[in-house]
Amino acid sequence: MSARGGKKKTTKLSRSTRAGVIFPVGRMMRYLRTGTHKYRIGMGAPVYMAAVIEYLAAEILELAGNAARDNKKGRITPRHIKLAVANDEELNQLLRGVTISNGGVLPRIHPELLSKKRGGRVKVDSQMTAPEKTEKEVKSSKRSSKKRGKPGRKPRVSPALPPHNKIIYTQSHW
């Protein structure tokens, strides 16, 4: 108390600082009033609303920051927010009908399109050498290298394809 008996002067505190939240309580009160004309609004309603929205924003930003860090980026983009919301089960359920602009699509490959491992294939290594031929294979390759067919005849040559394997139809083919 002061010497004259009056109250000590205190600095004005906003409702947000008194409630301990960052989001504006006064603005939330105004939004509630304009949205609901016929209902009475208690003094704790905007505080509770500001606290809930602040918690949701902090949760989404934390998950989006983790997604940005995983992609080795220093800035959170709408894509990171979309991935963060989609990977969290509860947030995904809450924001199921929400479209995030520039969020992209979720990476998903249909299981039928994924290649299956096949046991018959052998990976070719560049350091491997070709196996040497046996005597039997050498003899059979000598026999097959002889020219076959009637003597004096030229081998049949297939006509050349048009450039880029495009087939050009003339009017007689229609």
Domains recognised in the chain with CATH numbers: 15-108 (1.10.20.10)
- Given a contact cutoff of 8 angstroms between Cβ atoms, the answer to whether 86 and 106 are in contact is yes
pLDDT in tens, 36-55: 888 899 999 999 999 999 99
Residue 174 has what pLDDT?
Answer: 47
Q: Is the pLDDT of residue 145 over 80?
A: no
Q: Is the pLDDT of residue 2 over 80?
A: no
Task: Single out the residue of 85, 46, 47 nearest to residue 64, CA to CA.
Answer: 85
User: Residue 85 region, left (φ>0) first, then alpha (ψ -120 to 50), else beta?
Assistant: alpha
How many residues does this entry show for the chain?
Answer: 174
Range picked from 104-108, 158-162, 169-173 for highest mean pLDDT: 104-108
Residue 36 has what pLDDT?
Answer: 86
Over range 134-138, report the average pLDDT. Answer: 62
Q: Mean pLDDT of all residues in the chain?
A: 81
**Cβ-proximal residues to 100 (8 Å cutoff; 6+ apart), any chain:** 78, 81, 82, 85
Q: Of 13-17, 26-30, 60-64, 150-154, which range is least confident?
A: 150-154
Instruction: Name the band, by pLDDT with cuts 50, 70 and 90, for residue 147.
Output: low
Handedness of CA 20, 21, 22, 25 (dihedral sign): negative
